[in-house]
Amino acid sequence: MDNVDLNVLRQVQAWQREGHAVVLGTITRTWGSAPRPVGSVVAVRGDGLIAGSVSGGCIEDDLVAKVREGALALSRPELLRYGVGAEAAQAFGLPCGGTLELMLEPLGPASQLDALLERLARGERVQRHLDLKSGAVQLLDPVAAGQGVIADVVQLSESSLITHHGPQWRLLIIGAGQLTQYLASMALALDYQVLVCDPREEYQPEIPGARLTREMPDDVVMSFAPDGHTAVVALTHDPKLDDLALMEALKSPAFYVGAIGSRVNQAKRKARLAEHFGLTEAELARLHGPVGLHIGARTPPEIALSILAHMTAERHGVRISSAEVLMTAQGGGAEAGCVVG
């Protein structure tokens, strides 16, 4: 669930506290081309007000009309399908041949919306089980439920709908300086779970939504257990801290590993990692340094933007190698730190 859909749940909570009846719609399956991904949500208030989107607007208009006609006065969850056949697809604004399946759920005390939002506010991943017969909801830890850190977005059966909420991507930042404040805040807005590691007590960051640990970086990387949905970025400029984290991160399946510093310092860092920690050429080639895309960034927020832009490209399979970044830099670095580091 991304921030757009999270905001829908927050709006639903506000409506319920005002005493309104609300029906929540969740996309459970799509066929062909569909405007929104599986797991997206829309909410319709009892008087027809709407929050969120599952199409270009036509399905939302149909839901509003159904609410006002009393057709969505549901006592239990109900499955609705739009776009079957070319005529219906055109009528509901779906791309040619697109079909969308929507689970409509009347919300009440058993829906556990308040508890879900409380856990999401703590940065937790939550697996939500909706019983299709009773409408009752259970909230589980995906790891405890055997689904791992990252799980499928939606699982629909004859008896239940299972959805997954909270950050699906993780970011470990080594160092708690000024740049970290911007990088962590922007990453949180992009639905990352953020952990900041800095054993130096003089750094006291205040980043709502991010966690801080004072353990040594190599220990933190190992306990964090980076997987294919994890990024590790070292920002301290201190080899005693950055190198320890990179040593472990480059051996992991993390999809992105980066470090701040000039091209000269990056070469020295790779030599240290090879000589003292035995990293192979293939492992060292995974290191993005200077970190981020070259966009002429100089200020901390600009540098944070360049890093997250590079991470986003990697997430979506757009590969930009360190060599390509350096060729475009024309003597500059991807971040301000590399001209002084």
Return the structure tokens found at 136: 């009752």
Residue 258 has pLDDT above 50, yes or no: yes
d(CA 138, CA 128): 6
User: Highest mean pLDDT range out of 3-12, 134-143, 255-264?
Assistant: 255-264
Same domain, 155 and 190: no
Same domain, 152 and 288: no
Same domain, 53 and 155: yes
d(CA 319, CA 277): 27
From the CB of residue 120, how many other CB atoms can be counted at a distance below 10 Å? 18
CATH code of residue 329: 3.40.50.720
- Name the burial class of residue 186, with classes exposed (0-12), middle (13-18) and buried (19+) by CB atoms within 10 angstroms of its CB: middle
Distances (CA, A) of 236 to 9, 60, 86, 261, 279: 37, 48, 57, 9, 21
Same domain, 149 and 182: no
pLDDT digits (tens, 9 = 90+) for 180-239: 999 999 999 888 989 999 999 999 888 998 999 999 999 999 999 998 889 999 999 899
Containing structural domain, residue 271: 169-339
Global pTM exceeds 0.85: no
Angle of CA points 296, 302, 303, to nearest 5°: 80
Q: Residue 117: pLDDT band by 50, 70, 90 thresholds?
A: very high
For 137, the enclosing helix (H) or strand (E) is strand 137-140
Domain count, the chain: 2
Nearest to 31 by CA among 80, 82, 99: 99
